[in-house]
């Protein structure tokens, strides 16, 4: 969480939206950093969670906006935001976030066991690379989430099966590459590090890529 807050690059006066209030701890750190509770909004799906987050925050002396709702929809009533940080894993970039983020704003979100930092160009476009750091957050619950089917790893050597970076590639390309194709790419490209991958959103299209958004390795992001 500390690394994520650093990577979020919050500046004085930024309006920040957090998806996944949980205990309220991260929202307290954000409110402390910004020195103005009104700049911080955090959202969680369950009223019990938001109620207890509010309590924890108040006990620590912070009163940011704690909203109950589906974070995939953002919090339009509190937009625009300069920064959006998700503390649950997503399969896609919710379009509502782009619309609620100022041009030049930053979205930091867990996706496929990585953390991607997107720069928002406008309500239709965002792009960015993954950080070096792995991330294993609970999945976003609700409409955006679909169960991922188990994949057969037959033909994939044991050393790749247990490799964190191979598992990342598998998760990122799920639905586009089968595990054997992913393994062939992984071998050919010398087990690429996370920061070689990125995400682009352009209008209706969103895709993951290796090295170059317009290069040969591109896979649609599917929920
Ligand atoms: C790892 S916890 C967040 C930790 C939190 N940031 C903290 O400081 O304690 C993930 C949270 O995401 C929430 N969550 C899952 N799906 C959500 C959704 N669709 N909208 C909003 N919150 C969601 C869960 O209820 C859970 O509280």
Q: Which atom of ligand 1 sits closest to the CA of residue 142?
A: 19
Nearest to 145 by CA among 90, 220, 84: 90
**Rounded CA separation 37/32 (Å):** 8
What residue's CA is closest to ligand 1, atom 24? Answer: 20
The pLDDT value given to residue 147: 46
Beta carbons of 129 and 156 less than 8 angstroms apart:
no
Which residues does 159 contact at the CB level (< 8 Å), separation at least 6?
none
Separation of CA 35 and ligand 1 centre (Å): 23
- Dump strand ranges (E) for 21-158: 40-44, 65-68, 81-86, 101-111, 114-122, 125-134
| Model confidence at 148: pLDDT above 60 | no
Domains of the chain, by residue range, sit at 2-145
**Which architecture does CATH list for 2-145?**
3-Layer(aba) Sandwich (3.40)
Q: Mean of the per-residue pLDDT values for the chain?
A: 94
Separation of CA 42 and ligand 1 centre (Å): 9
**Rounded CA separation 14/9 (Å):** 10
**pLDDT tens, residue by residue, 99-131:** 999 999 999 999 999 999 999 999 999 999 999
| Model confidence at 223: pLDDT above 80 | no
Give the confidence band of 59 by pLDDT, cuts at 50, 70, 90: very high
Separation of CA 85 and ligand 1 centre (Å): 11
Task: Please count the helices (runs of H) and the strands (runs of E) in the chain.
Answer: 7, 10
- The ligand 1 site (C-beta within 6 Å) comprises 19-20, 22-23, 25-26, 43-46, 49, 70-72, 87-88, 137-138, 140-142
Q: Which atom of ligand 1 sits closest to the CA of residue 22?
A: 27
Separation of CA 94 and ligand 1 centre (Å): 15
Pairing of strands 16-19, 101-111: unpaired
| Model confidence at 150: pLDDT above 60 | no
The pLDDT value given to residue 47: 98
Bridge partners (DSSP) of residue 210 are 197
Q: Calculate ∠ Cα 114-19-117, nearest 5°.
A: 35
The pLDDT value given to residue 153: 87
**Rounded CA separation 215/18 (Å):** 32
Nearest to 50 by CA among 70, 33, 35, 30: 70
Separation of CA 138 and ligand 1 centre (Å): 8
The pLDDT value given to residue 132: 95
């Amino acid at each position: 969480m500390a690394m994520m807050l650093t990577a979020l690059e919050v500046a004085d006066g930024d309006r920040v939206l957090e998806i996944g209030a949980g205990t309220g701890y991260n929202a307290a750190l954000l409110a402390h950093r910004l020195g103005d509770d009104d700049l911080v909004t955090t959202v969680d799906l369950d009223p019990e969670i938001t109620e207890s987050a509010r309590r924890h925050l108040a006990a620590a002396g912070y009163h940011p906006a704690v909203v109950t709702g589906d974070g995939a929809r953002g919090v339009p009533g509190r937009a625009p935001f300069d920064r959006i940080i998700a503390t649950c894993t997503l399969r896609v970039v919710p379009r509502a976030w782009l619309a609620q983020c100022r041009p030049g704003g930053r979205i930091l979100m867990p996706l496929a066991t990585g953390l991607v930092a997107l720069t928002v160009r406008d309500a239709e476009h965002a792009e960015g690379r993954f950080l070096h750091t792995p991330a294993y957050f609970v999945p976003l619950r609700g409409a955006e989430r679909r169960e991922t089917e188990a994949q057969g790893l037959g033909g994939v050597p044991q050393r790749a099966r247990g490799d964190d970076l191979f598992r990342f590639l598998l998760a990122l390309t799920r639905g586009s590459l089968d595990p054997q194709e992913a393994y062939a790419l992984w071998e050919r490209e010398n087990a690429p590090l996370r920061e070689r991958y990125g995400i682009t959103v352009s209008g209706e299209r969103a895709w993951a890529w290796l090295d170059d958004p317009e290069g040969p390795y591109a896979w649609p992001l599917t929920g």
